Structure formats: C-alpha cells, structure tokens
Amino acid sequence: MVIPSINSQSELPAHGGDLDRAITQYGGQMTDWLDLSTGISPWPYPPPDVEATLWQHLPQAPNTLCQAAARYYGCEELYVVVSPGSQLAIRLLPTLLPKPTTVAIPLIGYQEHGYAWQRAGHQTLHYQGLAELNALVGNKQVEHAVVINPNNPTTEYYPTVALSDLARRLSGVMLVDEAFADMATASMVEYLDTNENLIILRSPGKFFGLAGARVGFLLSRNQLADQLKTLLMPWSLSAPACHVVESALRDSDWQAMQKQRIQQASQKMVQLLSVVVKRRQPDLELRPQALFCSLFGSKESLHELHQGLAERKIWTRLNTPQEPVSWLRIGLPGSAQSRFEAALDSVIKQ
C-alpha cells in the first residue's frame, strides 16, 4: 500500500517515555510507575567517574570518541560524525538536501523520519514491506529512501544485501536507521566503503541504555556527513557525555554480558506475552525484537492490555490514533521482572 502523504504535517510525532501522560490519565507519581514504553535497555552502562575539568572546559573535538565508535561499529574513523543523539541528525539531514525531493518512508516506524522530511519540504511516499520499497525505487518514484532496520515498532528486518542493492539503484541517498541494530548479526556498515549514497544512524541510547547522554552517530562517506559535521561545530556535544559513551563503546566485556542478559530477558518476555495472547487475546500477533516486544492486532484488544497494565502503573506504548495500524510496544522490565509478571498475570485473570 503506497499512501502519498500531505506535506504540511505540523503535529509533532508522539514518543514513548511520556510518563506525564500516564500520570494525567491514570494518576500516581513518577516513582509509582514502571516505564516500559520505550526500547531503552533497563540495564544502562554504569557511567565511569568524570573529571571535573570536563565540565569546566569547552569540549575538544570528539576524536577519541570517533576512534572508539569506528572500532565498535567496524568502519573507517573518517566516516564517523557524532551528533547530539541520532534524533538531531534525523531532523537535520533532510534540510541539507538542495531541493525538495521525493523520499520513501516506512508507513509504520519511528515517526520522526517522515516528520523531518515533510518539514523540510520534501514529498514522502510511504511503503509497507521490502516489496513496496523495491517498487518505489524500481519505478523511480523516489530519489531517496529511509529504512529503519530493525524497525521500531514493527520489528521487521531487511537483509542488508537487499538494502545495498536498493541503495545502488537510488539516485539520492539511502538513510538506514540502525538504532536497534546492536543485537543484530549484520549491519549496513559493511557496505559503507562501496556505497557513497549510504548513510547509517546508530544510537548508544538503546543497547547501552544511555539515551540521556544525547550522543548518536552518523556513519557515511557522503558529503552530507561533512555538512552535518560543520553544522554541529563547535561545541554541540557535552564532553562528559562523550566520555561516558566512549567508555561504553570500548568495554567489550560489558557488551558481551549485556547481549546475554538482553537475549535471556527477551526470550522470557516472549514466553510471558505468548501466554497472554493464547489465554486472552488470540487475535494478537506477537513480534519480538531484542529490546522490546510488539503486539499487532485489533485496537480493542491492544487497548485492553495497555489499559490493564496502566491500571497497575505499568506504562506501555500504544500507537497514536493517526496511525493506520494498531500496535502496542512493551520494553524489557529488567529488575522489575516479577512486578511485570504479577501484573500480566492479574490482567489475564481479570
């Protein structure tokens, strides 16, 4: 289904983590709530001590952070641009393209992409699935394409070789948002050397649980990367935040431990939600991703589950009414596992 969208979207995209809304709707205080409405790891990288001078001085260019990122992501250091969260890169990139163009955007996915391209005056054409994206590119209906791989919240994952082939056939850029790719076995990074129109976004906010650091990465050899770097100079990054993220990227022992516990927690989540689906809401489809699990299906069933958990002060992310498909995303509970299990159990029995 290809839905041309209006270019004057003015409403800001909604996000998880909106506990203020949870409190307005269901009451309680911030501390009463278990927030499972994002895909941020419940086990954040433990921040190392930060020297007081990092707070005092203006930040130096983030050279050592770029080295650490190049090593962790597996690309040339030259390709790394550090941005204050990958979010800012998402907003800025479309503004750097010379003229209004057409871009393929996932129908369901992190809504900031469509918003940013529309805001910058480009025409967005939505696709659902790789076949529709292929058609848009093959028919030359779009100059650029955005792919979220794996997708949040649909969990869809496109083979990197297929994306590389698509990138070659585009006249413009292919932006691949790999914010949730740390647990994946493949990355588009391996195609950076050969695809000049490839732009990859990575985010230490999810796997490393460092969303508050506001550090993100753009990896590319496209000239847009240089433009973004220039725009962000000087001093757009916090030196203490860069220091913490650099430590996280260099700590391979911690990363191995993190992978293992996320895998285990994800399996547990699938088990628990499968019971809910089987016993109460067989119309729902369960789609697991490492850091979250999404449920797709009828609006009523999803709302019932969302509300049942919210009444027990557990906040999950329900799609916005503007979206054409209904879904519910649930993040990993971490140390609140038993609270989550008890709440699910009581929702099932209710």
Residues that bind ligand PLP (CB under 6 A): 85-87, 110, 148, 152, 177, 179, 203, 205, 211, 216
Count of C-beta atoms within a 10 Å radius of residue 185: 7
> How many CA atoms are closer than 13 Å to the CA of 151, on its beta-carbon side?
22
Identity of the residue, 246 or 308, whose beta carbon is nearer to ligand PLP in the bound complex: 246
Identity of the residue, 149 or 281, whose beta carbon is nearer to ligand PLP in the bound complex: 149
Q: Over the Cα atoms of the chain, what is R_g?
A: 20
Residue 210 Cβ vs ligand PLP, minimum distance, rounded to whole Å: 8
Residues 6+ apart with CB under 8 A from 2: 125, 126, 127, 132, 135, 136, 141
Residue 217 Cβ vs ligand PLP, minimum distance, rounded to whole Å: 8
Residue 208 Cβ vs ligand PLP, minimum distance, rounded to whole Å: 10
Identity of the residue, 113 or 313, whose beta carbon is nearer to ligand PLP in the bound complex: 113
Residue 91 Cβ vs ligand PLP, minimum distance, rounded to whole Å: 10
Asked if 196 and 179 count as a contact pair (C-beta separation under 8 A), the reply is: no
Identity of the residue, 125 or 147, whose beta carbon is nearer to ligand PLP in the bound complex: 147
Question: Would you list the DSSP string of 228-285?
Answer: HHHHHTTT-S-HHHHHHHHHHHH-HHHHHHHHHHHHHHHHHHHHHHHHHHHHT-TT-E
* Position closest to ligand PLP via CB: 85
Residue 223 Cβ vs ligand PLP, minimum distance, rounded to whole Å: 22
Identity of the residue, 17 or 172, whose beta carbon is nearer to ligand PLP in the bound complex: 17
Asked if 303 and 170 count as a contact pair (C-beta separation under 8 A), the reply is: no
> Where in the chain does DSSP place strands (E)?
34-35, 80-83, 102-106, 123-127, 144-148, 174-177, 198-202, 216-220, 285-289, 292-296, 314-315, 317-318, 327-331
Identity of the residue, 62 or 85, whose beta carbon is nearer to ligand PLP in the bound complex: 85
SS3 content of the chain, % helix, strand, coil (to 5): 45, 15, 40
* Strand 292-296 relative to strand 327-331, pairing: antiparallel
Identity of the residue, 180 or 344, whose beta carbon is nearer to ligand PLP in the bound complex: 180
Residue 291 Cβ vs ligand PLP, minimum distance, rounded to whole Å: 10
Identity of the residue, 93 or 211, whose beta carbon is nearer to ligand PLP in the bound complex: 211
Beta-ladder partners of 146: 175
245 closest CA partner among 291, 200, 214, 199: 214
Which pair of structure tokens corresponds to residue 154? 């649909």
Residue 298 Cβ vs ligand PLP, minimum distance, rounded to whole Å: 25
Residue 286 Cβ vs ligand PLP, minimum distance, rounded to whole Å: 20
Asked if 284 and 296 count as a contact pair (C-beta separation under 8 A), the reply is: yes
Peptide bond into 150 cis (omega under 30): yes
Asked if 310 and 26 count as a contact pair (C-beta separation under 8 A), the reply is: yes
Residue 92 Cβ vs ligand PLP, minimum distance, rounded to whole Å: 12
Task: Provide the angle, in degrees to the nearest 10, between the axes of the packed helices 86-96 and 112-119.
Answer: 30
Identity of the residue, 288 or 304, whose beta carbon is nearer to ligand PLP in the bound complex: 288
